[in-house]
Chain A
Amino acid sequence: MTTREMSYSPQGQEIDLVRDSRSGSHAKGPVESEIVIATEAMEVYYGAFRAVDAVTIDFHARQITALIGPSGCGKSTVLRSFNRMNDLIPGALVTGAVRYHGKNIYDPDVDPVEIRRRIGMVFQKPNPFPKSIYENVAWGARINGAGRKGPEMDDVVQQALERAALWVEVKDKLQESGYSLSGGQQQRLCIARAIATNPDVVLMDEPASALDPIATLRIEELMFELKKDYSIIIVTHNMQQAARVSDMAAFFNVNLDDRGMRTGRLVEFSPTSQLFTSPREQETEDYITGRFG
């Protein structure tokens, strides 16, 4: 840890993202304007192909930000870049910077596992582990603070399930398989698992697209609850969902070059109330009114 770098959160807590560190210190931003994640001309390449053109956005604490746009616009690629999930794809490269509380998460000394602990992810298809409900959540908690056992772990599991609005439904069957739950419950279990690692950002990639309308609304209600403590960035194909849940919205579109290569590009980042009623950009207007080619 000779080259350990510390970034500084506005609260005064040092945030330690460096390899071999498990200090567990967890910054919660004290003011509304705190920026949790800031991208600076971030570009994503798959080999020589540029998938996403320069993206510069500030994501604020305890807000829900929606990333919207047509298929192939790069919104999921952008989301995955925020906790280095693209590292897992051979040939993927992120340039520019993604600053988490000021620290570029692509700096060579940053531990991607620590990043994924602090910046959790919920996927389109609920993906509980083939284990009990309890163990699914305890897994997340163990990542956060190894060695927790017995009543201490019970408390952590209960708290995460309560925050994910699932406790009441599962408290009497914690040892049953996660697969025994409905799709909507499984997704909330995955959210409980994600927040059991004590992150301060939760990324959601189409979290409700596999769910029925009632389960979808429960997830959306849960998001409103979660944003009291977490910053949420959600990718959604459902514009109405983005309009319902988000505070800020980013619209991405696709550029097609001469060789037919599609590159995603940030068109507009605005308060949701503006983006869906009076967007600044004609391109956004064309997309949200269904006039695009």
Chain B
Amino acid sequence: MSSGHDTNVHFHRELEDLERRVLTMADDAEHMVEMAVTAAVTGDLPLAASVIELDEAIDESYDRVHRDWTNLIARNQPMGSDLRKMAVLLQLNVTFERMGDQCVNIAKIAQFNEALPRAERIAEKIREMGDLVRPMIRTAIDAYLRLDLDLARSLHSMDEPVDRLNASMYKETVAVADNPAMLEWATKMLMASRALERIGDQAVDFAEQTVYLVTGETVSLTKVDRTTQANDR
């Protein structure tokens, strides 16, 4: 965004370093979604443990970013796009930490589901949700790195099928109510579905932050569709 010589090199280097660390958390979260979904659906306990381990690393990164962010703003009082980037990074740090927490919520289901009978239809839908949510995180990262507003705005339409699948999950659960063991499994998967839906929303939040970074305007990319979602349920 520069048209001249940078007289604030030291600050900008530290800001870039902070940005790199925050975006690494998003990379980790994307990876964790795949691991967590597989662990939950297959009951893979070691994989679930890996997700929990990765989340601990994200939590540590969150703490360090928060500490360094405070230090950076106290010493530099940034303005303009630097200030917007600082605001965005603080928000994204929270967003990615929560994505990690949601992945842990999904992964932990593995330990409950190990011995329960599975409903293939529900498992397939959960996998499908995971396959939809991961590209959302990747697209939001790309939109941020390229400062691409169109790509950021595309997150809204990417989120729609995730919301639809989540809304349909209640009916799928009721459909297996005759089998109490399978119902228990399905109820846990309902929680996984809810967690994936939240991660999708968090990816949309990420894209909204990119729009703010570029334009200085706060937008809600999902606002339009709240009523539709409610009706689907």
User: A residues bordering B, Cβ < 8 Å?
Assistant: 239-240, 243, 274, 276-279, 282-286, 288-293
Contacts and interface: CB of A to CB of B under 8 A. Distances in A.
Contact of B5 (A277, A279, A285, A291): A291
A290 B84 contact: no
A278 B79 contact: no
Interface of B: 1-8, 11-12, 77-84, 215-217
A278 B2 contact: no
B5 A278 contact: no
22 contacts: A243-B79, A277-B84, A278-B84, A282-B3, A284-B80, A285-B80, A285-B81, A288-B80, A289-B1, A289-B78, A289-B79, A289-B81, A289-B82, A290-B7, A290-B8, A290-B11, A291-B3, A291-B6, A291-B8, A292-B4, A292-B7, A293-B4
Nearest to B87: A277
A289 B77 contact: no
A19 B150 CA distance: 63
Contacts of A278: 80, 84, 215-217
B77 A240 contact: yes
Contacts of A279: 80
Contacts, number: 58
B4 A277 contact: no
B4 A286 contact: yes
Contact of A277 (B2, B6, B11, B216): B216
Given A277-B80, A278-B215, A292-B7, 10 more contacts: A239-B77, A276-B83, A277-B84, A278-B80, A284-B80, A289-B8, A289-B79, A291-B1, A292-B4, A293-B4
Given A291-B7, A291-B8, A285 B83 contact: no
Contact of A293 (B5, B11, B215): B5
Contacts of A293: 4-5
Contacts of A243: 79
A61 to B, nearest CB: 27
A276 B4 contact: no
Contacts of A282: 1, 3
Nearest to B82: A289
- Sort A-B residue pairs by CB-CB distance and give the 6 closest, nearest first: A278-B216, A290-B8, A293-B4, A293-B5, A291-B2, A288-B79
A278 B5 CA distance: 20
Contacts of A291: 1-8
Contacts of B82: 289
Nearest to B8: A290
A243 B78 CA distance: 11
Nearest to A242: B79
Contacts of B80: 276-279, 284-285, 288-289
A71 to B, nearest CB: 13
Contact of A290 (B3, B6, B83): B6
Contacts of A239: 77, 79
B2 A286 contact: yes
Contacts of B81: 285, 289
A293 B8 CA distance: 11
A239 B7 CA distance: 15
Contacts of A288: 79-80
A285 B1 CA distance: 9
B216 A292 contact: no
